[in-house]
């Protein structure tokens, strides 16, 4: 029975259209088509499976969440495969494993009522795990060499896009600062009347919500949903309305936007680069409260390098893994015991 409010065919088409606008310019036409086609196919299959499985009992929001996550990771990992140098004949098998892993993890996570932010982290862990295992399998079968394997494992289009968004935001802030410095612009005490939808110009709340909308328009939808969940229903709806305004950036007074960004930045936690010591500290907190047999049982089916990582962490040593991957494993261990 179809899920009310969820048309999986329409959703898959919409996601593929968005993907066309985001595919990296360095890909050739064949590669671009592969990314879009792969995303559309897996999104369609996931949506259809959810819609036809009445035992799941998913509503439209849950169906969209699973389909959205599969679409986003299909986009990023297909690009990673292309950039890795692995031959096209091996792409489909890897992407099928990744899509299946995401579908099962997301489906079970929703059924167990795992909080969305934790579920997204768990999905990422399994994506990395499945992708790495598939690459190792190609190496063992002699289809790639060690150099291509290392290049493939290093690929992370999702991180590259996040970095690009951050750099664009910083660039915009710098341009506004330069404009203020050269033109002597003073930030007015009250908002200008150029806000969209004729909202009250004197409302600092509206300025703040519109500024948040500008930021969220540049972020993946899965992260947008997580951020919006921290707002009240009323404010979240206002932000969504502003995000739907095509010329929001143009109609907002840039000096006010920049002022609001600076005020918001004061209240954000200071970013600290993740280090191996931080990961070990997180794991030690788990080790102090959980029995080792329980932890070992939770990771007995994991890859050998994960078990090795945990064993060395017990000794206070950091196994040679990328810090980001180690952090995901540590979170997985915390959530599993």
Sequence-distant contacts of 325-329: CB under 8 A, at least 24 apart: 325/128, 326/276, 326/279, 327/274, 327/278, 327/279, 327/282, 328/121, 328/124, 328/125, 328/128, 329/125
pLDDT, one tens digit per residue, over 20-42 is: 888 888 999 999 999 999 999 99
- The pLDDT, as a whole number, for residue 188 is 34
Indicate if the pLDDT at residue 172 is higher than 70.
Answer: no
Average pLDDT over residues 5-9: 88
Q: pLDDT tens, 51-61?
A: 988 888 899 88
**Which of the pair, 181 or 294, is modelled with greater confidence?**
294
Helices (H), 53-115: 60-84, 91-111
| pLDDT tens-digit series, residues 78-112 | 999 999 999 999 999 999 999 999 999 999 999 89
Higher pLDDT, 114 or 204: 114
Using the predicted structure, report yes or no on whether residue 193 has a pLDDT greater than 50.
Answer: no
Summarised one tens digit per residue, pLDDT across range 132-171 is 999 999 999 999 999 999 988 888 877 777 676 666 666 6
Q: Quick one: average pLDDT of 236-241?
A: 83
């Amino acid at each position: 029975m179809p899920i009310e409010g969820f048309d999986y065919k329409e959703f898959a088409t919409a996601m593929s259209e968005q993907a066309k606008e985001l595919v990296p310019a360095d890909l050739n036409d064949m590669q671009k088509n592969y990314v879009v086609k792969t995303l559309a196919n897996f999104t369609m299959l996931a949506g259809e499976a959810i819609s036809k499985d009445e035992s799941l009992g998913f509503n439209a929001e849950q169906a969209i969440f699973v389909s959205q996550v599969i679409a986003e990771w299909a986009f990023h990992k297909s690009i990673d495969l292309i950039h890795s140098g692995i031959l096209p004949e091996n792409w489909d098998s890897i992407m099928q494993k990744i899509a299946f892993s995401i579908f099962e993890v997301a489906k079970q996570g929703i059924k167990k009522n795992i909080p969305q932010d934790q579920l997204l982290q768990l999905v990422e862990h399994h994506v990395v795990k499945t992708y790495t295992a598939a690459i190792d399998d190609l190496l063992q079968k002699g289809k790639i060499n060690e150099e291509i394997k290392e290049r493939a494992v290093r690929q992370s289009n999702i991180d590259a896009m996040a970095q690009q968004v951050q750099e664009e935001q910083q660039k915009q802030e710098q341009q506004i600062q330069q404009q203020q410095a050269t033109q002597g612009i003073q930030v007015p005490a009250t908002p200008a009347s150029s806000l969209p939808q004729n909202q009250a110009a004197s409302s600092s709340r509206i300025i703040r919500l519109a500024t948040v909308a500008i930021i969220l328009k540049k972020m993946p939808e899965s992260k947008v949903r997580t951020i919006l969940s921290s707002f009240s229903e009323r404010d979240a709806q206002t932000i969504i309305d502003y995000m739907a305004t095509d010329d929001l950036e143009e109609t907002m007074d840039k000096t006010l936007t920049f002022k609001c960004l600076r005020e918001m930045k004061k209240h954000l936690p200071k970013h600290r680069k993740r280090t191996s010591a931080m990961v070990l500290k997180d794991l030690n907190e788990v080790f102090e409260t959980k029995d080792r047999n329980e932890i070992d049982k939770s990771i007995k089916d994991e890859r050998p390098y994960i078990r090795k990582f945990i064993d060395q962490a017990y000794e206070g040593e950091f196994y040679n893994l990328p810090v980001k991957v180690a952090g995901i494993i540590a979170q997985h261990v915390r959530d599993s015991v």
